[in-house]
Amino acid sequence: MTTAEKNGKTKDPVLVVVQLSGGNDFMNTVIPFTEGIYYDNRPLVGVPDDKSLPFTDTLAWHPSASAFKRIYDQGKMAIVQGVGTEHASRSHFRAMDIWHTCEPEIVATEGWLAKVIREIDPEGANPVTAVNFGRGLPRALAAPGVTATSVGDLDNYGLMSGIQLQEERDLDLQIFQRMYTPAIGSGQVMNYLSQTGNNVLSGADMLAEAPRQYRSKVEYADNPIAKSLRDVARVHTTGLGTRIFYTTHGGYDHHAQEVPTHARLLHEMTTAIEDFMQDLHDHDAAEEVNILVFTEFGRRIKDNGSGTDHGTGGGAFMIGENVKGGLYSEYPSLAVGDWKFGEDMDFTIDFRSVYSTILNQWMGLDPVDIVGGQFEQFNPYTKTMV
């Protein structure tokens, strides 16, 4: 059964994942502004209560996240509080790896979204079923035999992009394609290279359409996350059948200099998402899109005099026209006795519950094999696939 038949929509659901790398300080994004313990432990990085932007009786946004306040106030954002996992790791790589593979105890090679691609496009018929904006492929999208496209620069994407003369580049690409023609008796790795090279070529041909077709009134800011989300909008509105978009916003690892840096990053990221939603709305292309914003962990409750060190429980944001706005799960307890390792906010919901909810209710897939088990779901959508 197609997803379209399930809910009467004509468009397939799309997931846009925004990864905040380095460990976003959830406690300084969604601030427990009435808690004395917050101010006591964060003499340096704590946001004064006359600066933060309250949105419930107990929670306030960081002043640089006013765009998120507007989205939340419109009822289009689910805040998932206290996301983490039992076998948490304070190592960036290991923690991110766990998020990417859903394997907290072993090092796995298959990304959760790669398994989604395999479900949606088992034959690998569309090389742009999943598109990452950034250099290199995140592990979430990588698995043997799965095609995902990684785009560094959409306006100049693909092989031989450094060759200036278009005629010469076109000719070189033709020769490349001939050299990458599979031959009998070449061996498995040579054939794999042929297939990979040809996928890159066909993906590039498709993606070249996006800059040609896209027109917009929205003026995105000049920073990497805004540029990436504009690229997502350009490809999505071109209608190439992309179901998963992935992009990364780096720099959240504020051991030092947290106050100015975190403010800038939050401003860039939240404004870019607000612009992106407006852009999709203008193109009548918003309804089918759900955005997930996540990070590998939160940060330490106590500041270190300059920033904060790696912590445990963090938070995620689900955003879209069909999201039922509000707070989900519980804000981690701030009582000193509840601090994880004696210094972190604990987690209150497993990250795989977030994935299961999205996969099942938004993408219309069975999440059990993808996330590696049954995890309790919550209900953050006004319209679902199930």
Partner 1 sequence: MTIAASNPLSLMAHLLRRAGFGSDRNELEEYAARSYEDVVDDLLNPERFDAPEDEILSRFYPHLHANKDNPAIWNGRWFYRMVNTDRPLEEKMTLFWHSVFATGWTKSEHTPTMVDHIQMLRTNCLANFRTLLLGISRDPAMIFWLDNNENHRNAINENYGREILELFSMGIGNYTEDDIKSAARAFTGWTYDTPVALYPFGHFDVKYRFRADDHDGGQKTFLGHTGNLDGEDIINIIAKQEVTARFIGRHLYNFFVADEAQVPAWSIAPPADPSAIDDLAKAWIDSDADMKVVMRTLFNSEWFKAARFKHVKSPAEFVASVLKLSGEYAEPAPDLHKLEGTIVTMGQKLMDPPSVEGWHTGKEWIDGGTLTERVNYAIDTLNNPDKPGVKAIIDRISSQGNLTTPEQLVDNILDLIGPLEVESGTRDTLVAHAQVDGVLDWSSGTAAEISTARVVQMLTLVVSAREFQFS
Alpha helices (H) in 12-151, listed in sequence order: 36-41, 66-73, 92-101, 112-120
Q: Does 257 bind partner 1 (CB under 8 A)?
A: no
Residue with tokens 């061996």: 187
**Binding window for partner 1 (CB under 8 A); candidates: 142-150, 229-237, 244-252, 311-319:** 142-150
**Binding window for partner 1 (CB under 8 A); candidates: 29-37, 53-61, 197-205, 236-244:** 197-205
Length of the chain: 386
Given a contact cutoff of 8 angstroms between Cβ atoms, the answer to whether 49 and 278 are in contact is no
Given a contact cutoff of 8 angstroms between Cβ atoms, the answer to whether 176 and 199 are in contact is no
Q: How far apart are CA 327 and CA 358, in angstroms?
A: 16
Residue with tokens 């090279």: 197
Judged on CB neighbours under 10 Å (0-12, 13-18, 19+), 2 is exposed
Pick between residue 161 and residue 374 the one whose CB is nearest to partner 1: 161
- Strands in the chain per DSSP E: 14-20, 30-31, 53-54, 60-61, 77-84, 130-133, 149-151, 244-249, 289-295, 314-319, 326-328, 349-350
Pick between residue 270 and residue 312 the one whose CB is nearest to partner 1: 312
**Binding window for partner 1 (CB under 8 A); candidates: 17-25, 133-141, 207-215, 276-284:** 133-141
Number of residues that bind partner 1 (CB under 8 A): 51
Q: Within positions 305 to 344, which residues make up the interface with partner 1, using CB under 8 A?
A: 305-306
Member of 58, 181, 374, 382 binding partner 1 (CB under 8 A): 181
Q: What are phi and psi of 318, to 5 degrees?
A: -115, 125
Pick between residue 180 and residue 347 the one whose CB is nearest to partner 1: 180
Given a contact cutoff of 8 angstroms between Cβ atoms, the answer to whether 144 and 271 are in contact is no
What is the CB neighbour count within 10 angstroms for residue 239?
12
Member of 175, 336, 368, 386 binding partner 1 (CB under 8 A): 175
Q: How far apart are CA 320 and CA 18, in angstroms?
A: 13
Q: Does 150 bind partner 1 (CB under 8 A)?
A: yes
Member of 159, 218, 221, 259 binding partner 1 (CB under 8 A): 159
**Binding window for partner 1 (CB under 8 A); candidates: 88-96, 222-230, 286-294, 354-362:** 88-96
Q: How far apart are CA 359 and CA 354, in angstroms?
A: 9
Query: What's at 233, amino acid-wise?
Result: A
Q: Does 178 bind partner 1 (CB under 8 A)?
A: yes
Q: How far apart are CA 325 and CA 319, in angstroms?
A: 8
Q: Does 208 bind partner 1 (CB under 8 A)?
A: no
Q: Does 127 bind partner 1 (CB under 8 A)?
A: yes
**Binding window for partner 1 (CB under 8 A); candidates: 14-22, 35-43, 56-64, 155-163:** 155-163
Question: Smallest distance, Å, CB 139 to partner 1?
Answer: 8
Give the 3-state secondary structure of residue 340.
strand
Q: Does 215 bind partner 1 (CB under 8 A)?
A: no
Q: Does 34 bind partner 1 (CB under 8 A)?
A: no
Positions touching partner 1 (CB under 8 A) are: 91-94, 97, 107, 109, 127, 132, 135-137, 142, 144, 147-150, 152, 158-163, 168, 172, 175-176, 178-181, 183, 186, 188-190, 192-194, 196-197, 199-200, 203, 255-256, 304-306
